[in-house]
């Protein structure tokens, strides 16, 4: 599906025409440069490689410099391939936030915030077991039993336990586009998107 690379600016809220306060996320969507065109003849599939966010030439190796020079653009920090573009875009063309319109729905993909090692109460929403009294003093947020003893004598795969939380690829679907600001390359979508501020995200139609 066609889309853009963007950067999460932060969250705010706006009022709609009925006076309802809507939480929303502000995204810097593009402009993205076409850095490579994949075709059925040469690559076996059709797609566009888009680059976003300039980076210094001295921080790019020779191979990357040559790759971006073909598109007549500066080296980019983020490169992603998108399929499903209807228009005939060529190497070096720019795709901007004009791709989206107010009122339509988009999918946003990003990497969620990492929370580190967390227990079952925070990670899976367990209630905790036991009581605060009757002699026990350290089992309030414990997971409880994780399996039987003699049979099956093992812990099943997928058992919800403590562990690393967050820092995963997450896609939030059907977010409504509330506002498009072409002169500032800004896209305002309803609700929240994964990732921290200034994190790279993918916006798909």
Residue 6 banded pLDDT, cuts 50, 70, 90: very high
Q: What is the pLDDT of residue 129?
A: 76
pLDDT tens readout for residues 98-144: 889 999 999 999 999 999 999 999 999 999 877 788 888 888 898 98
The arithmetic mean of pLDDT across residues 32-39, rounded, is 91
Question: Containing H/E element for 40?
Answer: helix 40-43
Domains and CATH numbers, the chain: 3-114+169-204 (2.40.30.10), 115-165 (no CATH)
> At residue 187, does pLDDT exceed 70?
yes
The three-state secondary structure class of 168 is: coil
- Predicted TM-score (pTM) of the model is 0.85
8 A C-beta contact, residue 6 and residue 201: yes
Give the closest residue to 50 by CA, choosing from 14, 107, 89: 89
The arithmetic mean of pLDDT across residues 161-185, rounded, is 95
Instruction: State the chain's mean pLDDT as an integer.
Output: 92
């Amino acid at each position: 599906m066609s889309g853009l690379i963007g950067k999460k600016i932060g969250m705010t809220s706006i009022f709609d025409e009925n006076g309802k306060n809507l939480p929303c996320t502000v995204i810097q969507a593009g402009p993205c440069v076409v850095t490579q065109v994949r075709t059925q003849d040469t690559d076996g599939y059709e797609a566009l490689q888009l680059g976003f966010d300039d980076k210094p030439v001295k921080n790019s190796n020779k191979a990357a410099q040559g790759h971006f020079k073909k598109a007549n653009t500066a080296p980019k920090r983020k490169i992603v391939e998108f399929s499903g573009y209807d228009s005939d875009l060529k190497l070096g063309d720019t795709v901007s936030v004009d791709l989206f319109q107010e009122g339509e729905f988009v999918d946003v993909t990003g990497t969620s915030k990492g929370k580190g090692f967390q227990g079952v109460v925070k990670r899976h929403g367990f209630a905790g077991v036991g009581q605060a009294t009757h002699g026990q003093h350290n089992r309030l947020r414990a997971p409880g039993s994780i399996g039987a003893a003699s049979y099956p004598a093992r812990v099943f795969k997928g058992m919800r336990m403590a562990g690393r939380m967050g820092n995963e690829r997450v896609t939030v679907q059907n977010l409504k586009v509330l506002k498009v600001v072409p002169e500032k390359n800004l896209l305002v979508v309803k609700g929240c998107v994964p990732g921290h501020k200034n994190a790279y995200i993918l916006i798909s139609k």
